[in-house]
């Protein structure tokens, strides 16, 4: 997804929830609206229509430009300090450039970097099974199905995700760490970065709650 598209969605949501003010709202992207914009009527053409219309919208919308960082002016946004205006961004920003753009919209007061050893992550991926129809996820090490290889609810066979391959994930994790290092350095310079290490949620959760209490309570 283009940075501008994701940023547009974030600004809309933060505006709608009262976290920021003073911004120009944007119509959200939908399959129907994008297909209508392109004039596509056949279902088979819907995906191509979405991509084409999104590209056209990006060109036509003054907020979404090729240089997203340069197009955002921090003076057009105000933000609330009320607890009710709190929010969490999960998985975005992923680069230092994206973070710099978010900084222009609203200040981020805590960034959590969760670190789990790669061997633990790969082990969990290797032992993960899913019920494709419902999306239910099992893991033979800590959340095993009641009957091996069967979904607890339907009794149907469980499957593996095609990309749940240790070598594929090792390459992904290596790339993720390299790409995120400048991002972590960006937030470390701002004094808002907290790194939490642990092998499981039982270890990580108390550390996170302790950090929240220390900073915000």
pLDDT tens digit sequence for 132-189: 999 999 999 888 999 999 999 999 999 988 777 777 878 888 888 888 899 999 999 9
- Say if residues 17 and 76 touch (Cβ distance below 8 Å): no
What average pLDDT score do residues 18-39 get?
55
List beta partners, residue 21.
Answer: 78
The domain at 109-217 falls in which architecture?
A: 3-Layer(aba) Sandwich (3.40)
Instruction: Residue 150: name the closest of 161, 141, 158 by CA.
Output: 158
Q: Measure the CA–CA gap between 187 and 68, rounded to whole angstroms.
A: 19
Whole-model pTM: value is 0.66
What average pLDDT score do residues 5-34 get?
71
Q: Measure the CA–CA gap between 118 and 107, rounded to whole angstroms.
A: 31
Q: Which residues of 200-213 are buried (b: 16+ CB within 10 A; e: fewer)?
A: eeeebeebbeeeee
pLDDT tens digit sequence for 88-139: 999 889 889 899 989 988 889 999 999 988 888 888 888 899 999 999 999 9
pLDDT tens digit sequence for 190-212: 999 999 999 888 899 999 999 99
Parse the chain into domains and list their residue ranges.
109-217
């Amino acid at each position: 997804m283009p940075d501008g598209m994701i940023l547009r969605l974030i600004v809309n949501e933060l505006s709608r929830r009262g976290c920021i003010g003073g911004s120009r709202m944007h119509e959200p992207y939908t399959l129907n609206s994008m297909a209508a914009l392109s004039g596509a009527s056949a279902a088979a053409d819907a995906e191509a229509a979405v991509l084409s219309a999104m590209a056209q919208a990006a060109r036509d919308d003054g907020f979404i430009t090729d240089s997203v960082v340069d197009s955002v002016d921090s003076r057009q946004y105000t933000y609330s300090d009320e607890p009710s205006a709190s929010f969490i961004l999960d998985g975005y920003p992923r680069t230092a450039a994206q973070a710099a753009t978010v900084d222009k919209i609203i200040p981020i007061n805590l960034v959590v970097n969760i670190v789990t050893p790669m061997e633990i992550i790969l082990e969990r991926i290797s032992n993960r099974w899913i019920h494709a129809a419902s999306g239910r996820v099992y893991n033979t090490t800590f959340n095993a199905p009641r009957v091996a290889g069967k979904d607890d609810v339907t009794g149907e066979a469980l499957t593996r995700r095609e990309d749940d391959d240790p070598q594929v994930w090792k390459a992904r994790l290596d790339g993720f760490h390299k790409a995120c290092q400048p991002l972590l350095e960006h937030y470390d310079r701002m004094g808002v970065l907290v790194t939490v290490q642990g092998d499981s949620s039982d270890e990580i959760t108390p550390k996170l709650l302790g950090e929240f209490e220390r900073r915000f309570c």
